[in-house]
Amino acid sequence: MTDAEKLEVRDITRIERIGAHSHIRGLGLDDVLEARAVSQGMVGQKEARRAAGIVVQMVREGKIAGRCILLAGEPSTGKTAIAVAMAQALGNETPFTSMSASEIFSLEMSKTEALSQAMRKSIGVRIKEETEIIEGEVVEIQIDRPATGTGQKIGKVTLKTTEMETNYDLGNKIIECFMKEKIQAGDVITIDKASGKVSKLGRSFTRARDYDATGAQTRFVQCPEGELQKRKEVVHTVTLHEIDVINSRTHGFLALFSGDTGEIKQEIRDQINGKVMEWREEGKAEINPGVLFIDEVHMLDMECFSFLNRAMESDMAPVVIMATNRGHTRIRGTNYRSPHGMPLDLLDRMIIIRTVPYSEKEVREILKIRCEEEDCVMNNDALTVLTRIACDTSLRYAIQLITTANLVSRRRKSTEVTVEDVKKCYALFIDEVRSSKILMELQDEYMFNEIESDKAKDKDSIKGKGKDKDEEKPAEPMECGDN
Ligand SMILES: Nc1ncnc2c1ncn2[C@@H]1O[C@H](COP(=O)(O)OP(=O)(O)OP(=O)(O)O)[C@@H](O)[C@H]1O
Ligand SMILES: [Mg+2]
């Protein structure tokens, strides 16, 4: 296969771009929710995946509102990956809103409003509607145009099913629809009574022999059975947030496209909650609670955390999944330290799923999957070296080397990546550990280096100087809670 051919095939099969998690297609669990070692792009981390599978089942059942789950673990142990897998496992029907905690500080609205909107985006409402339709095979159609060419057209159509046949008079609007769809005798059609929309289902089998030449696309269908007039149920799925936006008069539905929804009044939300409950009781709507995923949750501040405490107690709350890689640290916007940088009362309301670092074998497996994802053929030795690099530095760094090594190998017109290519990239691009080591060694050459002053401070404190109240304060600068 030439290069050009290869490119073309790839263009057709993959329109999506390759992202950090594009190799993940699900949680990779079996029927009894046990995690398979390698499946659907997921490797190892069995306990956490199994726990995630149980959460997915809880969401699918849709009975429980406002549960909160925290994914906690070291950096690059697959917390975000597991959340992506959960979204895949839930499918398109269940709303899954994914956001990073810092997003709420950059929007043109208050932090709590941004959180409320995110929560309401995660609750789906399936609205059922019954419409009346006429469905039948066209026996005869007659449209009279006035001789002048302008003015009202009049028309008649005879429709039949296997059991009955009826004549209908056609209005001007429906005649236009008939002409647009090029309806002829022998077509099987449906007419939506409320909107007057006409659609062609295909040609009737009974007429198949009447025509010698039919196009390749002609679809033949059976003549409908039973009554001509039927009731049909249509289901629309929207989120609570979409209903909010459409009903908030100041913005209108176009705000849905621009995303510029502004703040929505609480009264509107209350009214909509009431209305949706009414629909639910009347059997017109079903609530389909989904998931709100907040990544890097330690970036939320105290106000957000206490807002979440309360918001999760509402009936209309989704299941909230959070992820963090922080240990014991300060809660943003305060001076209090707490596990995961989150207040204890919120932690008390959640169940925690822990992710653990990967073994060498698992790292190798992840790297292998990433090679496939990035269309890179790597030989076994190179993969071994790359695995070693991943264990010594980080998984993310090793993943970055795949594409670069692939490019290096392509430059020397090789079809597979060898140890040499990996080594070359390892030398060209340094990782975080080597970079900080270089900084330590060459600190005097750089600007604004603070290690020196820290050392001086240490010396001072040893000498007993500068021991005032200020030293009690934490060394790192305090993050401010406002946007
Ligand atoms: N079990 C796994 N199976 C397959 N790929 C994985 C797995 N775990 C992690 N990865 C991949 O490794 C990379 C890093 O993982 P991820 O981004 O999920 O880490 P994280 O726990 O969210 O880290 P951080 O705390 O830094 O956000 C991603 O490309 C991810 O897809
Ligand atoms: Mg992450």
Whether residue 98 has its Cβ less than 6 Å from ligand 1:
no
**Pair (305, 209) in one structural domain:** no
**Pair (84, 114) in one structural domain:** yes
Give the atom of ligand 1 at the shortest distance from the alpha carbon of 49.
1
**How many helices, marked H, and strands, marked E, lie in the chain?**
16, 17
d(CA 169, CA 265): 49
Ligand 2 geometric centre to CA of 278 (Å): 40
d(CA 355, CA 82): 10
User: Quick check: 449 pLDDT over 70?
Assistant: no
Which of 43, 79, 80 has most ligand 1 atoms within 8 Å of its beta carbon, as the pocket-test mutant?
80
Structural domain count of the chain: 3
User: How high is the pLDDT of residue 212?
Assistant: 57
User: How high is the pLDDT of residue 476?
Assistant: 44
Segment 162-175 mean pLDDT: 87
pLDDT range class, residue 456, cuts 50, 70, 90: low
d(CA 483, CA 477): 16
DSSP 203-260: EEGGGGGG-S---TT--EEPPPPS-SEEEEEEEEEEEHHHHHHHH-TTT-TTHHHH--
Ligand 1 geometric centre to CA of 42 (Å): 10
**Pair (189, 138) in one structural domain:** yes
Segment 335-358 mean pLDDT: 93
For residue 109, tell me if it sits in a domain.
yes
Whether residue 75 has its Cβ less than 6 Å from ligand 1:
yes
Which of 17, 18, 21, 369 has most ligand 1 atoms within 8 Å of its beta carbon, as the pocket-test mutant?
21
Whether residue 324 has its Cβ less than 6 Å from ligand 1:
no
User: Quick check: 342 pLDDT over 90?
Assistant: yes
pLDDT range class, residue 387, cuts 50, 70, 90: very high
For residue 83, tell me if it sits in a domain.
yes
pLDDT range class, residue 307, cuts 50, 70, 90: very high
**Pair (346, 295) in one structural domain:** yes
For residue 202, tell me if it sits in a domain.
yes
pLDDT range class, residue 75, cuts 50, 70, 90: very high
Name the one residue in this structure whose structure tokens are 């142990």.
77
User: Quick check: 367 pLDDT over 90?
Assistant: yes
Q: What are the CA-CA distances from residue 165 to residues 135, 162, 231, 276, 353 (Å)?
A: 11, 8, 18, 41, 64
Whether residue 21 has its Cβ less than 6 Å from ligand 1:
yes
User: How high is the pLDDT of residue 361?
Assistant: 93
Segment 402-425 mean pLDDT: 92
Judged by DSSP in three states, 346 sits in helix
User: Quick check: 246 pLDDT over 90?
Assistant: no
Domain range holding 213? 128-234
User: Quick check: 177 pLDDT over 80?
Assistant: yes
Which of 39, 322, 329, 366 has most ligand 1 atoms within 8 Å of its beta carbon, as the pocket-test mutant?
366
Segment 46-69 mean pLDDT: 89
Segment 252-266 mean pLDDT: 70
Whether residue 79 has its Cβ less than 6 Å from ligand 1:
yes
User: Quick check: 165 pLDDT over 60?
Assistant: yes
Written in H, E and C, the secondary structure of 261-313 is CCCCCHHHHHHHHHHHHHHHHHCCEEEEECEEEEECHHHCCHHHHHHHHHHCC
**Pair (230, 299) in one structural domain:** no
For residue 401, tell me if it sits in a domain.
yes
User: Quick check: 11 pLDDT over 50?
Assistant: no
**Which ligand is nearest the CA of 399, by number?**
1
**Pair (133, 109) in one structural domain:** no
**Pair (376, 294) in one structural domain:** no
User: How high is the pLDDT of residue 339?
Assistant: 93
Ligand 1 geometric centre to CA of 80 (Å): 6
Lowest mean pLDDT across 3-17, 52-66, 422-436, 458-472: 458-472
Ligand 1 geometric centre to CA of 76 (Å): 5
Strand-strand pairing, 229-239 and 123-144: antiparallel
User: How high is the pLDDT of residue 197?
Assistant: 84
Which tens digits make up the pLDDT trace of 78-125?
999 999 999 999 988 889 999 999 988 876 788 888 999 999 999 999
**What separation, in Å, do the N-terminal and C-terminal C-alpha atoms of the chain show?**
55
**Pair (180, 211) in one structural domain:** yes
Ligand 2 geometric centre to CA of 160 (Å): 61
For residue 154, tell me if it sits in a domain.
yes
User: Quick check: 436 pLDDT over 80?
Assistant: yes
Q: CATH no. for residue 408?
A: 1.10.8.60
d(CA 238, CA 23): 29
Which amino acid, 391?
C
**Pair (175, 132) in one structural domain:** yes
User: How high is the pLDDT of residue 66?
Assistant: 82
Give the atom of ligand 1 at the shortest distance from the alpha carbon of 41.
4
User: Quick check: 285 pLDDT over 60?
Assistant: yes
Segment 284-293 mean pLDDT: 90
User: Quick check: 135 pLDDT over 60?
Assistant: yes
Strand-strand pairing, 123-144 and 285-289: antiparallel
Name the one residue in this structure whose structure tokens are 């071994």.
384
For residue 246, tell me if it sits in a domain.
no
Query: Mean pLDDT over all residues of the chain?
Result: 83
Of the residues 316, 335, 355, the one at which a domain ends: 355
Ligand 2 geometric centre to CA of 439 (Å): 26
pLDDT range class, residue 128, cuts 50, 70, 90: confident
Of the residues 306, 322, 355, the one at which a domain ends: 355
- Asked if 204 and 187 touch (Cβ cutoff 8 Å), the reply is yes
Q: CATH no. for residue 115?
A: 3.40.50.300
Segment 306-332 mean pLDDT: 91
Ion ligand 2 contact residues with beta carbon within 5 A? 80
Lowest mean pLDDT across 22-36, 41-55, 227-241, 316-330: 227-241
Whether residue 341 has its Cβ less than 6 Å from ligand 1:
no
Whether residue 395 has its Cβ less than 6 Å from ligand 1:
yes
Pick the residue whose CA is nearest to atom 23 on ligand 1.
Answer: 76
Segment 46-75 mean pLDDT: 90
Segment 295-299 mean pLDDT: 92
Strand-strand pairing, 187-192 and 123-144: antiparallel
What percent of the chain shows pLDDT beyond 70?
Answer: 84
User: Quick check: 188 pLDDT over 80?
Assistant: yes
